[in-house]
Chain A
């Protein structure tokens, strides 16, 4: 900024200088023009005066020295008078013009205040030089005029003397001859012999007087010459003094002007140097200020940033705290609501589930009952209807229940496709089988020739066993006899224990076993099916019990 200020101020200063310069230059120009005009006029007038003076002197000389006829003389004298008039007028004009010029010419003292402004000085100096020149010219011309005047004074003195002499002469002539007219130009035709004689006598007397005066003058010549010389010397001295003084003044003026000019130059140089130095200083100052400002700016910025960051941090933590609080409370509320909602949902779901389960259990039970019922459709000779549909129903109704579905899967394929035999039919079959089994009792893997067959037939015919005998609780090795087994099995069958019967029958070996195999598989099938169904029904009952809701 200082640089800008300085430059602004410099600009301002320059502007001011320019203004002043313009003003001063204009004024100077005006005054110079004025003074120039006046000087020129004065010079012109002086020269005219000079001319007039010279002319007048010339004319006077001519008038004095020329011997011309009276008419011409009168013309000459008229011319002379005109010339004299011209001269006087010219001289007055010249003096007036000189006076005016001297008036208009500004004195160097007036220039002093303007000299303070540097740029004006050359103009002022130039103006002063012009003025000086003008003054010099004027002085020169004035000197010329003065010399001319001096010369003309001499000539006029001489003419005055001559005039005086003439007048004297005329006076004398007139005193001598009063009747003669004053104008002696018309003298020659009107004078008488007396007059002429008187005149001649006067003329002689005058000549004598003049000779005497001449002699006297010759005697006093030296003295007069000395006096004149002295006078001349004085005059010269005076003129010299005047010239010296004027030239001294001129020289002084010139010296002063020179000095001024030199001073101006030096001042300008100094100014320029000072300006450059100042500029340098200003630049250094600006640099320094810029650096300092930069440092300061950084410091301030760091401080401000620190404050800002701390405030921000505060605000941030506060804000975060508040949000966290809000969030926490909100979360709490939400959690509570959610928990409640969840509870309600679960209650409803459990209700639903319970109802669903109940329904399913009911369905299962129904299907199992149906299955059970199909089992009972076994006739005396035919098997039951195929359990497939019922089993399918069961399977459908127990999709979600793994246990029940496993059980449903466990139903043997034969029962599904063909159905199972009832216990009665099995019993009947057994009874019919029994005799055959008895007959082949002796046949096994090793003894199976026809002879053995005969023997076993014989045994069967001869051996008598109880038709039915209660099986003991524990089977010993001797109980594994065919006949005994069969009677046990019959007993069991009669008492409805198919399982035990099957177990017992399972102990048969050899050919008896082979004969009974079919019956055994059938029995097994039936048992299996019945077991599965009973399990299913038990399960369905249990589930139904479990899911039954007390009203």
Chain B
């Protein structure tokens, strides 16, 4: 279990780094291509990458506590059946 923790961190960091760099790179590319060598796409890209990495990391750590709920539409008939089955 502890190992998982360590692994998670490793993954997280790696993922963040990759994303950041990728963002940076894309930023650079964009900055070079579309935005006349401004710096803001770079930082934007890197920030984007970082943010993505951060988010992923968070999500990964939150994963055990995540509850995916979804509303289930129950037809009136099934509702009645359910009610009936519930009654003892």
Contacts and interface: CB of A to CB of B under 8 A. Distances in A.
Q: Is the interface of B mostly helix, strand, loop or mixed?
A: helix
A193 interface: no
A488 B16 CA distance: 38
Interface in B23-55: 54
Interface residues of B, number: 10
B58 A436 contact: no
A449 B58 contact: yes
A515 interface: yes
Contacts of B57: 450
Contacts, number: 30
Given A433-B2, A436-B5, A519-B1, A450 B65 contact: no
A448 B2 contact: no
Interface string A449-461: 1100100000000
Contacts of B5: 436, 440, 515
Contacts of A519: 1
B61 A453 contact: yes
Given A436-B2, A515-B5, A450 B64 contact: no
A446 B66 CA distance: 10
A517 B1 contact: yes
Contacts of A433: 1-2
B78 interface: no
Contacts of B61: 443, 448, 450, 453
Interface residues of A, number: 17
B73 interface: no
B70 interface: no
Interface string B58-69: 100110110000
Nearest to A433: B2
A520 to B, nearest CB: 9
A514 B1 contact: yes
A67 interface: no
A48 interface: no
12 contacts: A433-B1, A433-B2, A436-B2, A443-B61, A445-B65, A448-B61, A450-B54, A450-B61, A514-B64, A515-B1, A518-B1, A518-B2
Interface of A: 432-433, 436, 440, 443, 445-446, 448-450, 453, 514-519
Interface of B: 1-2, 5, 54, 57-58, 61-62, 64-65
